[in-house]
Each structure stands twice: as C-alpha cells, then as structure tokens.
C-alpha cells in the first residue's frame, strides 16, 4: 500500500465515541470505575433521532420563535430529553432565553434572542439553534465519565 492511510472512522457517532475514548485513555486521572460509554451512545442515539427524524414547526412569538418538535415513539422520547437538556444548559448564554415544555408527541422550545439576533435565530431554525456553542463536546466527555451534566 501507498503512504496514504484513511483517517475517518466511517460513521460520525462512532467517531465521537472514538474521540472520547482516546481522551479518556490519554488522561491518567480517568476513573475507569465511573466511565459509562453506553450513556454517551444513548445520547448519540437521541441526537440522531432528533436530527434526522423529528418534525419541526416554527411559529413566531414575541422576541423569538416557538419550535414545536414531534416524532413517533423513541424519537419523541429523544426530543423530550434533548430539548429539556438544551434549555437547561443554554438558557441565558449570550442573552438568549430558552424555555422547554413537554407536549403530546414531543416538546416545545421557546427561544428568545436580543433584537440584534432575531434574524439569526430565525435563520438557524431549531437544529441550528441546538448546534450553537461548544458545549456538546464537553457534554459528551461528562456523560462518558459517568457525570450528570444537566443536574
């Protein structure tokens, strides 16, 4: 074979787990008795369901948008977990406000932003809003370490 070797693990959830395992293995302070890679895998399943299978409806509200996010069975449960966790983690960051509520079939996320960011909020939509910030990577590491990032 030539000198070029593949670098991609072939699937994004696998890559996320591989990255976290590498960080844990490189850290001599890792407490392997608390590591829970399965918790990270379950969260990645939630992310996949919400990203690819959820139905989203957007309605304007005073100062922002109400996202009504629904899906069947397991997707509904993933929506509820992710929307609640996001609102708890990101409320107040950058003066954006988030309120989550469970509904039949999923959840709502009311997002309000400063006037200067309203067009940005609307342009991002539900999924774009969820991607804001770099909290996801630290969140994944906390889950894998057996910590509870939303409590």
Residue 2: per-residue pLDDT = 66
Higher pLDDT, 150 or 66: 66
Q: Is residue 55 a part of any domain in this protein?
A: yes
Task: Report the predicted TM-score, pTM, of the whole model to 2 decimal places.
Answer: 0.87
Q: Is residue 29 a part of any domain in this protein?
A: yes
Closest by CA position to 111, among listed 103, 95, 102, 79: 95
Q: Of the ranges 6-10, 54-58, 84-88, which is most confident?
A: 54-58
Backbone angles phi, psi at 120, to 5 degrees: -65, -45
Residue 151: per-residue pLDDT = 47
> Quick one: three-class SS letters along 24-49?
HHHCCCCCCCCCCHHHHHHHHHHHHH
Full domain range(s) for residue 60: 12-144
Give the CA dihedral 127, 148, 75, 130, nearest 10 degrees: 0
Q: Is residue 151 a part of any domain in this protein?
A: no
Q: Is residue 3 a part of any domain in this protein?
A: no
What's the CA angle centered on 82, arms 116 and 150, to 5 degrees? Answer: 90
Q: Is residue 98 a part of any domain in this protein?
A: yes
Q: Is residue 90 a part of any domain in this protein?
A: yes
Backbone angles phi, psi at 69, to 5 degrees: -120, 120
Domain count, the chain: 1
* Residues above pLDDT 70, as percent of the chain: 95
pLDDT tens across 62-116, in order?
Answer: 999 999 999 999 999 999 999 999 999 899 999 999 999 999 999 999 999 999 9
Backbone angles phi, psi at 10, to 5 degrees: 100, -15
Q: Is residue 65 a part of any domain in this protein?
A: yes
Instruction: In whole angstroms, give the CA distance from residue 118 to residue 100.
Output: 19
Residue 19: per-residue pLDDT = 94
């Amino acid at each position: 074979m030539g000198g070029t070797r593949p670098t991609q693990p072939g699937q994004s959830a696998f890559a996320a787990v591989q990255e976290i395992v590498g960080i844990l293995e490189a850290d001599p302070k890792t407490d392997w008795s608390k590591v829970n890679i399965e918790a990270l895998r379950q969260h990645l399943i939630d992310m996949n369901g919400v990203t690819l299978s959820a139905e989203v409806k957007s309605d304007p509200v005073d100062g922002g948008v109400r996202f009504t996010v629904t899906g069947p069975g397991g997707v509904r449960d993933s929506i509820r977990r992710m929307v609640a966790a996001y609102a708890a983690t990101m409320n107040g960051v950058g003066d954006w406000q988030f309120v989550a509520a469970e509904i039949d079939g999923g959840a709502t996320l009311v997002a309000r932003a400063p006037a200067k960011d309203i067009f940005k909020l609307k342009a991002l939509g539900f999924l774009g809003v969820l991607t804001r910030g770099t909290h996801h990577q630290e969140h994944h590491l906390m889950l894998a370490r057996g910590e509870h990032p939303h409590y």
